[in-house]
Structure 1
Amino acid sequence: MRAFFVSIVGTVIVLAAAVAPATGAPPENPERVYENPWQPIEISGFHNCNGETVAITGEYLLRATTRADASGGTHVSYLFVLRGEGVGLTTGTRYMTNERIHGQETYPSSGTIAFTSTGSGLYKSSDPATPDLRYAITIHATIIPDGTMTSEVLNITANCD
């Protein structure tokens, strides 16, 4: 699950960073909003309760806002929502999935980057013998200008109902 979540977070970060203005002088328009309509997606997930990879077909939504502060730093907030259906590649069990990631990134003019993201999800099984998976993840990292990570937090909870 960590690899799956981290890959989605990485995708969201790249998309959010793409809409963020470069740090330096504040832009003429200090706030920009990026929003895509629901888009189709095919991705693999992992069901921790039974160790099964799940092929997910569905759609996702991404909303991102960037703001420039008075010192020329940039702040990005984003929301990523995934909803879809999946099929277990081992058992053939069908799943419904709904996942959300909300994040904040700060790119101050000093060059130290702070990143925080929280996510949660549900894999609802169609088979009463297969437990549902509910999970929550929190990630935080601080990176100084030379690229050194000075703090890292990764909390994952998974419940099999």
Structure 2
Amino acid sequence: MDGDPGRTTGNPAAALAGLTTAAREGWAAENRAAAQRLIACYALLQECWREYGHGIDGSHEARPGHAVVDGLVAAAGYVVAAMSISARRAEKMLSFSWELHTRYPAILEAMAAGLMEQRVAELLARQMATVRGDVLEQVQRQVVDDYLNGVAAGIRLGDKALRDEVDAVIGRHDPDAIRL
């Protein structure tokens, strides 16, 4: 080996297998890192909500002479400083972290296991945005299971086909969500 993962002298099949494994491991590590980032963002958001409240919702009494700071805005400031990203992107990341923890924990589990990339997670969450709360857990579990089973079987759907698959699951449990 000369430092390249999977590189072996004289055995191209072994080299390709090793390199493919290294690429897969990198992809899974990236997915786990995205989940870790979103888990940390959610914890930061929770802490900022405890400290600063939820904006002008009466959750914290404003002190005379002091500005009211929304917890989301404060958390976004911390994320901007930590990750060198825009405030808008930080707020979107914080919002998505909240959605994963409160509405789509099965998606977050798949990301944390290294099996789903953030782009797919965002697509699935957007598709399920209008699903009724009383069936959401069942729908999202089936959507995630179907996706992961497909990946394990070597099925790679494009975005439209994936949205269609999610809509089919939603349609069986909450037909009104499809219309919305």
State the TM-score, normalized to the length of structure 1.
0.29
Higher strand share: 1
Q: Which has the higher contact order (CA 8 A, sep 6+)?
A: 2
The higher radius of gyration belongs to 2
Higher helix share: 2
State the TM-score, normalized to the length of structure 2.
0.27
